[in-house]
């Protein structure tokens, strides 16, 4: 398999999985380990996620512009929306600055990372099934309706996703469900929260790995970025519609199956 095909494959994996509660980083790690691909470095894995984030900005451009105009007009709903996104972002920003080197070390460990990911996929899948069954009371039906305590609590839960295989979107969505947020709003909030979270992670990764970035590396990142952007465009709208009808249980079973296959494969080689 050529380097270009590997980059395209990883970009597709990123675009499909970034906003699904199945862990995009975990899939990138397993794709490398199980398919015998060269070990992708953490900087590449993190930066190509920005392509998927750009898809959110494009698809929700009208919403973001409405909020911007509302802020200028001091509209209470726009102020609450912005407050809730920033509060959800704050905990992961603080923890990320402290833990970025440890996270990169785990992601780039060719033996440890796939095992951690497989276990996290299985455990996360079981938790999703439990939370889906128990979280029935809905008190919040829009991002603007969230209290500041709810937004901050979801942000704290998001920090768990720094463990490879947990899933940022899965952690934020499940955290939101347990706090009374309805499914569609939980999914949308996860999209919005991804914008500052992943932009911050990307900027930190680029700065931390600035001395390792050559022209070839930047070209690889650019290709992965474009592929993940195009694929994510198709996935995001489908995801909101799907969870509104079917919930998150299908993703939970998928996580359990993939994690189990990953562990069996890794133990066999």
Report the alpha-carbon distance of residue 10 to residue 31 in Å, rounded: 8
Task: State the number of CA atoms in the 13 A half-sphere of 123 facing the CB.
Answer: 14
- Cα distances from 31 to residues 25, 125, 127, in angstroms, run 10, 19, 24
Report the alpha-carbon distance of residue 170 to residue 166 in Å, rounded: 7
Judge contact between 126 and 75, C-beta under 8 A.
no
Residues in the chain: 269
Average pLDDT over residues 12-27: 87
Task: Return the pLDDT at 1.
Answer: 45
How many folded domains does the chain comprise? Answer: 1
Quote the Cα angle for 59-153-254, to 5°.
Answer: 60
Judge contact between 238 and 28, C-beta under 8 A.
no
Task: Return the pLDDT at 112.
Answer: 73
| pLDDT tens for each residue of 39-90 | 555 566 667 778 888 899 999 999 999 999 999 999 999 999 999 999 999 9
Tokens 């998001």 — which residue? Answer: 158
- Cα distances from 16 to residues 49, 112, 154, in angstroms, run 11, 24, 23
3-state helix, strand, coil in the chain (%, to 5): 80, 0, 15
State the Cα torsion 10-97-79-234 to the nearest 10°.
0
| pLDDT tens for each residue of 172-228 | 999 999 999 998 899 999 999 989 888 877 777 667 666 665 555 677 778 888 999
Quote the Cα angle for 176-60-82, to 5°.
Answer: 55
Average pLDDT over residues 116-139: 91
Identify the bridge partners of residue 140 per DSSP, sorted by sequence position: 181
Burial of 209 (C-beta count, 10 Å sphere; 0-12/13-18/19+): middle
What's the domain range around 249? 3-268
Report the alpha-carbon distance of residue 55 to residue 154 in Å, rounded: 22
Judge contact between 19 and 231, C-beta under 8 A.
no
Tokens 């709810």 — which residue? Answer: 150
Does residue 28 register a pLDDT over 90?
Answer: no
* Least confident stretch, 98-102, 181-185, 262-266: 98-102
Quote the Cα angle for 250-57-14, to 5°.
Answer: 45
Predicted TM-score (pTM) of this structure: 0.85
Task: Return the pLDDT at 119.
Answer: 93
Report the alpha-carbon distance of residue 202 to residue 18 in Å, rounded: 14
């Amino acid at each position: 398999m050529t380097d270009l095909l590997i980059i395209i494959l990883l970009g597709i994996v990123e675009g499909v999985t970034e906003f699904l509660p199945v862990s995009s980083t975990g899939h990138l790690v397993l794709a490398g380990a199980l398919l015998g691909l060269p070990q992708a470095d953490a900087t590449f894995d993190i930066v190509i996620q920005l392509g998927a984030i750009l898809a959110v900005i494009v698809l929700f451009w009208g919403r973001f512009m409405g909020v911007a105009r509302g802020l200028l007009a001091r509209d209470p709903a726009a102020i609450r929306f912005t407050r809730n996104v920033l509060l959800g972002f704050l905990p992961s920003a603080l923890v990320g600055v402290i833990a970025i080197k440890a996270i990169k070390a785990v992601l780039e460990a060719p033996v440890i990372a796939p095992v951690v990911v497989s276990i996290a996929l299985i455990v996360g899948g079981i938790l999703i099934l439990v939370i889906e069954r128990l979280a029935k009371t809905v008190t919040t039906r829009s991002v603007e309706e969230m209290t500041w305590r709810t937004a901050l609590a979801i942000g704290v839960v998001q920090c768990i996703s720094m463990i490879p295989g947990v899933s940022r979107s899965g952690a934020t969505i499940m955290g939101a469900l347990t706090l009374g947020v309805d499914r569609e709003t939980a999914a949308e909030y996860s999209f919005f929260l991804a914008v500052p979270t992943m932009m911050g992670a990307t900027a930190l990764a680029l700065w931390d790995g600035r001395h390792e970035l050559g022209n070839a590396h930047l070209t690889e990142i650019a290709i992965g970025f474009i592929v993940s952007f195009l694929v994510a465009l198709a996935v995001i709208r489908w995801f909101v519609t799907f969870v509104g009808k079917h919930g998150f249980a299908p993703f939970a079973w998928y996580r359990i199956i993939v994690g189990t296959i990953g562990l069996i494969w890794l133990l066999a080689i």
